Amino acid sequence: MDVFKLNEKGTSVKTEIIAGLTSFFAISYIIIVNSIILKDAGIPPELSVFATIFVSIIGCLLMGFFANAPIVLTPGMGVNAFFTYTLVGTLGLSWQAAVAVVIISSGVYCLVAFSKLSELLSRAVPETLKHGITCGIGLFLVVIGLEKGHLIEAGKDTFIVLGDLASPHALLAIFGLVLTVILLIRNVQGGLFIGILVTTILGNILQIRDASEASFALSHLADYPSIFAQGDFSSLFSAKFLMAVFSLTMILVFESMGLLQGLLPDAKEKDFKKAFKASAVTTFISGFFGTSPTIAAAESASGIEEGGKTGLTAVVAGALFAVSLFFIPLLSYVPQAAIAPVILITGALMMKNLQHIQFEDFTEWFPAFLIFVIIPLTSSIADGLAVGFVFYPLVKIVAGKRQAVHPAMYLISGLFLAYLIMNTVMG
């Protein structure tokens, strides 16, 4: 296991395996959910499920062996919605043309990742914004966890109200939350995974399960080539195609950078660069496989909280994605209420980074605050980043602290402003 430098990182095979199991089960819902969302773009769910699994396997192996980072790469929530409901729904592109947009945008992402631009952009982003990104993603996970556990829901007169806490799903989620918190307080190794396992068993005994819309059979694999390498570049120079490429490129580069810096806050610059490159390559590959772009899964934080520190965590998750090819129907036996507590607790732990934000300086904490609140309120990491990055140089200039802003931040801010304008124009 020298390839993963376990001793150097202060971890063990057992810890990494448990972390990989935890990360996989926390993100495993993407196998079914991604297929359901891409169905609205016109991609058959019984085929896109293979694309989701294949690119996740490749991404995890790349992240594990090349970057040695405990990060799971998989088609991202939010990005898949942008693919389906903006590129296809609003702009009217076919799913094949949308795949072409993914390929070109991720090609630009690769150019950034494999050039000195990645170092420049990483240095240009102030630490306060990086911590704001981590906290924003954390609060986003908290909201997702509460929703999955049916503990909150959309209200008639307000955005969010308490869910029906007497419902079977909510009661199961509360049980899982209490159990997992107890295990963490008692420092039980594998507490998050044990929480998922015990809650899943109890949920199935009580017949508390989630309805699945995804159709899957291994026999459909023979039809998978019909969505492989189907990018349609015929409208390459049309205005809507170019707008789509610009917007998606902004999302991929900066959302990925924000996620990786949020998940690996203590990583050395060379480690971040490797993870960034692995993410870029996997994103590029995803277009050819016939799915929406991959990103670093925020749920990777659950495995990191379990002690995952090396690429072995990612490799274990990748192996489980491979195994899931034969057991996808069994994933429906893991209720969302069993996953919800882990996602909620993981998000709460990520919010500890609030302590590193300079609250004594308004020009530092306010842009970070905007990122922190807009990400969960809009369910968009990219939109939260855009608003925070636009405001940072603005408040610094007004406060007479222009010199505190890295020159590249002005360019980044301008690009994000263009992204927000583009998003407004596109719907």
Nearest residue to 73 (alpha-carbon basis) of 263, 350, 334, 318: 318
pLDDT reported for residue 392: 95
pLDDT reported for residue 98: 94
Q: Identify whether 141 is part of a domain.
A: yes
State the virtual CA torsion across 401, 404, 407, 409 in degrees, nearest 10.
-90
Q: Tell me the percentage of the chain whose pLDDT exceeds 70.
A: 96
With a cut of 70, list the residues of the chain below it in pLDDT.
Answer: 1, 189, 211-217, 265-267, 331-332, 426-427
Question: How many other C-beta atoms are found inside a 10 Å radius of the C-beta of residue 112?
Answer: 21
How far apart CA 53 and CA 116 sit, in angstroms, is 32
Q: Identify whether 125 is part of a domain.
A: yes
pLDDT in tens, 214-250: 456 677 788 889 999 899 898 888 878 888 888 788 8
pLDDT reported for residue 240: 82
pLDDT reported for residue 39: 84
Q: Identify whether 224 is part of a domain.
A: yes
Q: At what angle do helices 311-331 and 13-27 cross, to 10 degrees?
A: 40
**230 lies in which domain range?**
6-349+360-426
310 and 6 Cβ atoms separated by less than 8 Å: yes
pTM: 0.77
Q: Identify whether 354 is part of a domain.
A: no
Q: Identify whether 102 is part of a domain.
A: yes
Q: Identify whether 127 is part of a domain.
A: yes
Q: Identify whether 355 is part of a domain.
A: no
- Give the total number of structural domains in the chain: 1
pLDDT reported for residue 65: 95
